Amino acid sequence: MRLLLALGNPGAKYRDTRHNIGWWLADRLALRWGGGPFRADADGLTAWTTAAARPGVEIHKPRTYMNLSGEALAALRDRRRFDPAADMLVLVDDVALPAGRFRLRARGSPGGHNGLASISASLGSDDYGRLRLGVGRPPDERIDLAAWVLSRMPRAEEERSLGAFPRAAEAVEYWLEHGVEAAMNRFNR
């Protein structure tokens, strides 16, 4: 089994916020691969892909809040067999990258991201792949970072972010075929 774990917050209030950009990409991947619609299960919202090129890929959007993403992952691991270091890619927002940019990482610290910190704590390791999707930093350092990621992007930023999704999807597809290190070498600029 391969797992794409898309981080975000549940509910209409958060649907269109920067913090949910991982869910946005998950929706597009499910559509691209014929894996939708997402269905509610005990752990969240799941779409399984059955396309011949990508059999057995689970796209999962936890219904926990971002800061509790590790709890959702623990529940998944109780029911499914997979190696997080080899078989899981986390789709997550990143304020260190501008909107419209993404970067693959094979491992590393959560970098202040509470969702990644929760996953690392659940696994007892930082050794798992992640696709960091840029949402940019606040234009003024006095703006609270939590408020920033829980706000909507202006239209121009959102269009840049969505414009990067086809290439991000290619990066995910390359990861599925060749692993995270090869995908990093090909797609990180």
pLDDT (tens, 9 = 90+) of the chain, 189 residues, equals 899 999 999 999 999 999 999 999 999 999 998 877 899 988 799 998 865 456 678 999 999 999 999 999 999 898 888 999 999 999 999 999 999 999 999 999 999 999 999 999 999 999 999 999 999 999 998 999 999 999 999 999 999 999 999 999 999 999 999 999 999 999 998
* Domains in the chain, number: 1
Q: Which residues contact 46 (CB under 8 A, 6 or more apart)?
A: 38, 39, 58, 59, 60, 61
Q: Which domain holds residue 122?
A: 2-187
Contact 134, 100 (CB under 8 A): yes
Q: How far apart are CA 75 and CA 33, in angstroms?
A: 25
Three-state DSSP state, 176: helix
Is 178 catalytic? The answer is no
Report pTM: 0.95
Choosing from 19, 60, 113, 178, which is the catalytic residue? 19
The domain that holds 91 is classified in CATH as: 3.40.50.1470
Beta bridge partners of residue 39, listed in sequence order: 46
